[in-house]
Amino acid sequence: MPLAALAQNEARTAEAAEAPVVPDTTGVRAFLMSRGSGSVADSVFGVLMLVGALSLFVIVALIVWMLVHNSQLSIHAFGMRFFRSTNWDPVNGDFGALPFIYGTIVSSLLALVIAVPLSLAVAIFVLEICPIPLRGAISFLTELLAAIPSIVYGLWAVFVLVPLVRDKFGPILEKLLGWTGLFVEPNFGVGVFTAALILAVMIFPVISSISRDVMRAVPNHQREAALALGSTRWEMIRMGVLRNARIGIIGAIILGLGRALGETMAVTMVIGNHPDISKNLFNPAYTLSSVIANEFSEATGDLYLSALIEIGLALFLVTIVVNAVARLLVWVVTRGNTAKAV
Amino acid sequence: MGVNIQVEHVNAWYGTTHTLKDVSLKIPANKATALIGPSGCGKSTFVRCLNRMHETTPGARVEGTIQMGDVDIYKAASPVEIRRRVGMVFQRPNPFPTMSIYDNVASGLRLNGFRKRSVLDEVVERSLKQAALWNEVKDDLRKKSGSSLSGGQQQRLCIARALAVDPEVLLMDEPASALDPVSTSKIEDLIFDLKRDYTIVIVTHNMQQAARVAEQTGFFLSGVMVEFDATEKIFTNPSDKRTEDYITGRFG
Nearest CB to A228 within list B83, B97, B249: B83
Q: What is the pLDDT of residue A342?
A: 34
Give the whole-number percent of chain B exceeding pLDDT 90.
Answer: 48
Interface list for chain A against chain B, based on CB atoms closer than 8 Å:
1-2, 4-5, 132, 219, 221-232, 235, 239-240, 243-244, 246, 334, 337, 339-342
Whole-angstrom CA distances from A146 to A149, A271, B194 are 8, 21, 55
Residue A36 falls inside a structural domain: no
Tell me what pLDDT residue A341 has. 39
Task: Kindly report the backbone phi and psi dihedral angles of residue A19, in degrees, each rounded to the nearest multiple of 5, phi listed first.
Answer: -60, 140
* CA nearest neighbour of B138 among B164, B94, B105: B105
A241 to chain B: closest CA residue: B96
Residue B248: which of A1, A222, A341 has the nearest Cβ? A1
pLDDT at A35: 83
Residue B43 lies in a domain: yes
Please judge whether B97 and A240 are an interchain contact, meaning their C-beta atoms are less than 8 angstroms apart: no
Give the one of A224, A235, A339 whose C-beta lies nearest to B97's C-beta: A339
Those residues of chain A that have pLDDT short of 50 are 1, 338-342
pLDDT tens figures, B147-194: 889 988 999 999 999 999 989 999 999 988 888 888 888 889 889 888
Residue A18's pLDDT is 61
* A317 lies in some domain: yes
Is A13 contained in some domain?
no
B96 CB neighbours in chain A (<8 A) are 222, 225-226, 239-240, 243-244
* HSE of B164, CA atoms in CB hemisphere, 13 A: 30
> Which of B51, B95, B99 is nearest residue A228 as measured by Cβ atoms?
B51
Task: Say yes or no for a CB contact (<8 Å) between B80 and A231.
Answer: yes
Q: Residues of B numbered 89-118 whose beta carbons fall under 8 angstroms of chain A's beta carbons: which are they?
A: 90, 92, 94-99, 107-108, 111-112
- Please state, in angstroms and rounded to a whole number, the distance separating the CA atoms of residues A251 and A209: 12
Instruction: Give the predicted TM-score (pTM) of the model.
Output: 0.81
Question: Is A125 within the bounds of a domain?
Answer: yes
A17, part of any domain = no
pLDDT at B143 (0 to 100): 85
**Is B192 a member of any domain?**
yes
Residue A141 belongs to what domain range? 98-334
Do the chains contact at A339 and B158, CB–CB below 8 Å? no
Q: Give the count of domains, chain B.
A: 1
pLDDT at A310: 93
Mean pLDDT of all residues belonging to chain B: 90
Residue A196 falls inside a structural domain: yes
Domain range enclosing B24: 5-247
* Mean pLDDT for the stretch of residues B242-252: 81
What residues of chain B lie within 8 A of the CB of A341, using their CB? Answer: 97-98
* Residue B252 forms part of a structural domain: no
Check which CATH number belongs to the domain holding A113 and give it: 1.10.3720.10
3-state secondary structure chain B: CCCCEEEEEEEEEECCEEEEEEEEEEECCCCEEEEECCCCCCHHHHHHHHCCCHHHCCCEEEEEEEEECCEECCCCCCHHHHHHHEEEECCCCCCCCCCEHHHHHHHHHHHCCCCCHHHHHHHHHHHHHHCCCHHHHHHHCCCCEHHHCCHHHHHHHHHHHHHCCCCCEEEEECCCCCCCHHHHHHHHHHHHHHCCCCEEEEECCCHHHHHHHCCEEEEEECCEEEEEEEHHHHHHCCCCHHHHHHHCCCCC
Q: How far away is chain A from the Cα of B201, in angstroms, using its nearest Cα?
A: 15
Total number of domains in chain A = 1
CB contact under 8 A, B147 and A342: yes
Q: Which of B52, B81, B88, B96 to mutate to test the interface with A (most CBs of A within 10 A)?
A: B96
Query: Tell me: the pLDDT tens digits for A189-246?
Result: 899 999 999 999 999 999 999 999 999 999 999 999 999 998 999 999 999 999 999 8
Interchain contact B238–A (C-beta under 8 A): no
Q: Is residue B97 in some structural domain?
A: yes
CATH for B89: 3.40.50.300
Cβ density class A238-261: b for 16+ within 10 Å, e for less: ebbbbbbbbbbbbbbbbbbbbbbb
| pLDDT number for residue A17 | 57
Query: Residues B29-51: what's their mean pLDDT?
Result: 91
Q: What is the mean pLDDT of the segment spanning B62-83?
A: 90
Which residue in A1, A9, A229 has the most chain B C-beta atoms within 10 A of its own C-beta, making it the best mutation to test that interface? A229
Task: Supply the pLDDT for residue B128.
Answer: 93
Residue A285 lies in a domain: yes
Q: What is the pLDDT of residue A1?
A: 45
